[in-house]
């Protein structure tokens, strides 16, 4: 319609087409060659002298089963850092920038990272802007930027306070104020879908066939079934824990096999299988013997539990500690059979550890993060032997993310 | 030490009872009503934990595995009795005091409450931790104390949340925490 009008007015359609073609070519050129940082006019030729060496920008290798990500929210700072680490070679691969208390998630193929962010226009004040960034994990460059409502729950980083769906098609983030809700993002259309109303429940544990579960104040598990438009059906399952079971804040949950492993403050581990057909609870396991309990063995740390799926082993960060010290770090990891609760081994790490994670391969690594020392230690998960350490990891690294497969 | 006073038990029973029967806002309202006569409404969750490491990095006498051992002499020290469940930076070290926010910040209008034992007089007091907001994290006197602290699904007793709720200009950005007394808990 516009083109027709232009032809009538100018009477020179071919010229206009040519002009439009030039414009399009210029636009393509601009897109292909992003604007460069301004060069100071006062520089002499020495600064831009051609180099003998070839300078390049690296890409990270494809993710493997020993890939681990270190999340550093830097003392609740306005900016955070996420470090991708090649766990096999104990090598830092680069850095991902994030904002205040980000939620970072890895797609099931390990090729993408999805980060939910919150920024302010004037550092710590001004206009709030929440958004989701999708990054390629080889170039570490953003490939999508999705605007979301400014309601993301700002809390110390927790692994499942935001989650990818089991098919990686959607991302869900929790909203605390003004009312409980879950934000739904379509990662195929790169668009926000809607806020889902939920009751007084927390976390997002994804399950197959467009389901996720939440944990509610009274201990029950809420099953939410959703369609692509964000319409939901909700069903409440019986409490998984007792009223006096105070659960550690960072449970283990596998998106690939839907296993929930969740210790309370005293070392009693509750487990569940969360599927489209319902929530199946397993018999709780006591990690500590009566003798150990008498000696004040308890879990402690920020990310205190890991699980190896094929080996069916629970790893729990623990130490001898007074009651109500559930966030102070621990020096030991106790390993137990996830079905029987039988103690398999105890690993002494000889460092104060705040977070652990276990790779899912046949020769698994136990990753252990010392927040104060800003150092991640790697152990052979089967023998407990120290393998490597990686230091100078930001300001306050506090959480680990490993490949789920 | 009188760590589990009758008042504390009452608070906990109230919290449990109402929590199991009501939604969060209703629950908050009931607790707030229980504390009639104070300016402590609404009683909503507070933040903190993640400040953990700054807490670790810069803290003096923060909680250890040996547990909470309060003193009543030095408010800038993490083991000062009012800080029994603080997770963050003590405003007294950041240009404020135990009861005032540093210049240029905004103050939350909601608090997370804990019951702390004062070894000076042997009494328990209700402390309303309020966040000062609108600037970067202060970074000084970081403390991670968790006496009586509960998981995030019990937010009114959890110290990991950024609780700048009600701060001016929608400043959901944490700077430091003050520890005003609500009243005696016994």
Q: Averaged over A108-126, what is the pLDDT? A: 97
- Taking only the tens place, the pLDDT of each residue in A157-210 is 999 999 999 999 999 999 999 999 999 999 999 999 999 999 999 999 999 999
Give strand ranges (E) for A160-299: 162-164, 170-175, 181-186, 191-197, 201-207, 211-216, 221-226, 232-237, 252-253, 259-263, 268-275, 278-281, 285-286, 297-299
Asked if B20 and A218 touch (Cβ cutoff 8 Å), the reply is: yes
Asked if A215 and A279 touch (Cβ cutoff 8 Å), the reply is: no
Asked if A113 and A104 touch (Cβ cutoff 8 Å), the reply is: yes
Q: Averaged over A316-343, what is the pLDDT? A: 98
CA angle A343, B67, A334 (to 5 degrees): 15
Chain A environment of B52 (Cβ under 8 Å): 156, 302, 327, 354, 371, 396, 398
Q: In this predicted structure, which of A262-266, A363-367, B32-36 has the lowest mean pLDDT?
A: B32-36
pLDDT of residue B62: 83
Query: Which residue do the tokens 């890939």 mark?
Result: A67
Q: Does residue A14 surpass a pLDDT of 60?
A: no
The radius of gyration of chain A from alpha carbons, rounded to an integer in Å, stands at 25
Q: Averaged over A237-249, what is the pLDDT? A: 97
> Phi first, then psi: what are they for A354, rounded to 5°?
-100, -25
Q: What stretch of H or E contains A68?
A: strand A67-72
Domain harbouring B141, CATH code: 2.60.30.10
Percent of chain B with pLDDT over 70: 67
**Own/partner long-range contacts of B91-94 (Cβ < 8 Å, ≥24 apart):** B91/B132, B91/B138, B91/B175, B91/B176, B91/B177, B91/B178, B92/B141, B93/B138, B93/B140, B93/B141, B93/B176, B94/B132, B94/B138, B94/B140, B94/B141, B94/B175, B94/B176
Of B78 and B48, the one with more pLDDT: B78
Kindly name the residue from B68, B81, B112, B163 that is annotated as catalytic. Answer: B112
Q: pLDDT grade, residue A120 (50/70/90)?
A: very high
Work out the minimum CA distance from B67 to partner chain A, whole angstroms: 5
pLDDT of residue A31: 53
Q: Does B47 touch chain A (CB under 8 A)?
A: yes
Q: Which two tokens stand for residue B135?
A: 């600037």
Q: Does residue B42 surpass a pLDDT of 70?
A: no
The residue among B124, B95, B135 whose CA lies nearest residue B182 is B124
Residue B1 lies in a domain: no
Q: Does A320 touch chain B (CB under 8 A)?
A: yes
Q: Averaged over A116-129, what is the pLDDT? A: 97
The verdict on a CB contact (< 8 Å) between B24 and A217 is yes
The verdict on a CB contact (< 8 Å) between A124 and B152 is no
- Taking only the tens place, the pLDDT of each residue in A202-218 is 999 999 999 999 999 99
The verdict on a CB contact (< 8 Å) between B52 and A202 is no
Of A224 and B186, the one with more pLDDT: A224
Of B43 and B133, the one with more pLDDT: B133
- Taking only the tens place, the pLDDT of each residue in A276-296 is 999 999 999 999 999 999 999
A178: left (phi over 0), alpha (psi -120 to 50) or beta: alpha
CA distance A137 to B76: 44
Kindly name the residue from B131, B160, B163, B170 that is annotated as catalytic. Answer: B131
Mean pLDDT of chain A: 93
Chain A environment of B24 (Cβ under 8 Å): 180, 200, 217
In terms of C-beta density within 10 A (0-12 exposed, 13-18 middle, 19 or more buried), how is residue B168 classed? middle
Q: In this predicted structure, which of A42-51, A93-102, A217-226 has the lowest mean pLDDT?
A: A42-51
* Distances A268 to A241, A247, A262, A323 between C-alpha atoms, Å: 10, 9, 8, 14
Q: What is the ipTM of this complex?
A: 0.89
Q: What is the DSSP string of B31-54?
A: HHHHTTTSS--S------GGGHHH
pLDDT of residue A34: 73
* Distances A401 to A172, A252, A389, B53 between C-alpha atoms, Å: 17, 11, 17, 18
Asked if A82 and A104 touch (Cβ cutoff 8 Å), the reply is: yes
User: Can you give B83-123 as a three-state secondary structure string?
Assistant: HCCCEEEEHHHCCCCCCCCCCCCEECCCCEEEEEEECCCCE
Which of the residues B172, B176, B177 would you substitute to probe the A interface, choosing the one with the greatest number of A C-beta atoms within 10 Å? B172
Work out the minimum CA distance from A395 to partner chain B, whole angstroms: 8
Q: Which domain holds residue B149?
A: 6-184
B163 is catalytic: no
Q: Does residue A151 surpass a pLDDT of 80?
A: yes
Residue B33 lies in a domain: yes
CA of B47: which chain A residue's CA is closest? A155
Q: Does residue A30 surpass a pLDDT of 70?
A: no
CA distance A124 to A120: 6
The verdict on a CB contact (< 8 Å) between A75 and B144 is no
CA distance A402 to A391: 18
Chain A environment of B171 (Cβ under 8 Å): 124-125
Q: Averaged over A225-238, what is the pLDDT? A: 98
Q: pLDDT grade, residue B32 (50/70/90)?
A: very low
pLDDT of residue A61: 98
- Taking only the tens place, the pLDDT of each residue in A364-398 is 999 999 999 999 999 999 999 999 999 999 999 99
CA distance A254 to A205: 8
Q: Which of A77, A200, A302 sits opposite B52 (nearest CB)?
A: A302
Q: Does residue B23 surpass a pLDDT of 90?
A: no
Q: pLDDT grade, residue B60 (50/70/90)?
A: low
Query: Which residue do the tokens 């670790």 mark?
Result: B56
Residue B41 lies in a domain: yes
pLDDT of residue A235: 98
Q: Helix, strand, or coil here: B20?
A: helix
CA distance A18 to A8: 16
B81 is catalytic: no
- Taking only the tens place, the pLDDT of each residue in B126-153 is 999 999 999 999 999 999 999 999 999 9
Q: What is the DSSP string of A161-175?
A: SEEE-TTSSEEEEEE
Of A194 and A19, the one with more pLDDT: A194
Q: Which of B56, B148, B153 sits opposite A202 (nearest CB)?
A: B153
pLDDT of residue B55: 41
The number of distinct structural domains making up chain B is 1
Residue B122 lies in a domain: yes
Q: Can you give the pTM of this predicted structure?
A: 0.87
pLDDT of residue A354: 98
């Amino acid at each position: 319609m516009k083109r027709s009008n232009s032809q009538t007015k100018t009477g020179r359609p071919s010229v206009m087409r040519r002009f439009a073609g030039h414009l399009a070519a210029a636009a393509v050129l601009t897109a292909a060659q992003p604007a460069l940082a301004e060069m100071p006019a006062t520089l002499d030729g020495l600064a831009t002298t051609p180099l003998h060496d070839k300078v390049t920008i690296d890409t990270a290798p494809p993710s493997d089963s020993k890939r681990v990500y270190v999340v550093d929210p830097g003392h609740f700072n306005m900016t955070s850092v996420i470090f991708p680490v090649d766990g096999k070679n104990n090598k830092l691969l680069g850095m991902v920038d994030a904002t205040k208390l980000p939620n970072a998630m890895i797609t099931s193929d390990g090729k993408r990272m999805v980060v939910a962010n919150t920024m302010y226009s004037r550092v710590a004040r001004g206009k709030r802007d929440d958004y989701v960034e999708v990054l390629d994990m080889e170039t570490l460059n953003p490939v999508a930027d999705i605007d979301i409502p400014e309601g993301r729950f700002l809390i110390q980083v927790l692994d499942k306070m935001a989650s990818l769906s089991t098919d990686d098609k959607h991302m869900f983030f929790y909203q605390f104020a003004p009312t409980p809700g879950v934000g739904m993002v379509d990662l195929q259309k790169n668009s926000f879908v809607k806020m889902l109303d939920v009751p007084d429940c927390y976390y997002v544990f994804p399950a197959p066939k467009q389901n996720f579960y939440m944990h509610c104040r009274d201990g029950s598990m809420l099953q939410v079934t959703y369609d692509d438009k964000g319409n939901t059906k909700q069903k409440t399952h019986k409490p998984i824990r007792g009223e006096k079971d105070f659960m550690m804040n960072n449970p283990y949950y596998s998106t690939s096999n839907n296993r929930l492993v969740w210790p309370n403050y005293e070392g009693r581990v509750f487990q569940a299988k969360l599927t489209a057909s319902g929530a199946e609870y397993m018999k709780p396991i006591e990690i500590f013997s009566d003798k150990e309990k008498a000696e004040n063995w308890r879990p402690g740390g920020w990310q205190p539990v890991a699980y190896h799926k094929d080996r069916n082993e629970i790893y729990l960060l623990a130490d001898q500690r007074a009651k109500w010290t559930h966030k102070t770090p621990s020096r030991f990891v106790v390993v137990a059979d996830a079905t029987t609760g039988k103690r398999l081994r105890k690993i002494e790490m000889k460092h104060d550890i705040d977070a652990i994670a276990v790779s899912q391969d046949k020769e698994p690594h136990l990753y252990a993060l010392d927040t104060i020392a800003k150092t991640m230690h790697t152990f052979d998960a089967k023998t407990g032997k120290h393998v490597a350490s990686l230091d100078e990891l930001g300001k306050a690294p506090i959480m680990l993310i490993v490949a789920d497969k | 030490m009188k760590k589990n006073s009758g008042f504390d038990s009452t608070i906990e029973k109230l919290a449990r009872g109402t929590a199991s029967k009501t939604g969060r806002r209703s629950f908050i309202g009931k607790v707030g009503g229980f504390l009639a006569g104070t300016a402590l409404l609404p009683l909503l969750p507070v933040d903190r934990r993640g400040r953990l490491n700054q807490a670790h990095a810069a803290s003096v006498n923060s909680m250890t595995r040996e547990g909470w051992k309060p003193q009543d002499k030095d408010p800038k020290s993490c083991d000062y009795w009012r800080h029994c469940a603080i997770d963050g930076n003590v405003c007294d070290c950041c240009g404020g005091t135990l009861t005032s926010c540093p210049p240029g910040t905004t103050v939350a209008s909601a608090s997370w409450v804990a019951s702390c034992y004062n070894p000076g007089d042997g009494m328990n007091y209700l402390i309303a931790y309020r966040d000062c907001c609108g600037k970067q994290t202060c970074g000084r006197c970081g403390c991670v104390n968790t006496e009586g602290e509960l998981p995030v699904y019990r937010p009114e007793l959890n110290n990991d949340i950024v609780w700048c709720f009600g701060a001016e200009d929608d400043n959901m950005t944490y700077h430091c925490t003050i520890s005003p007394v609500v009243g005696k808990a016994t």
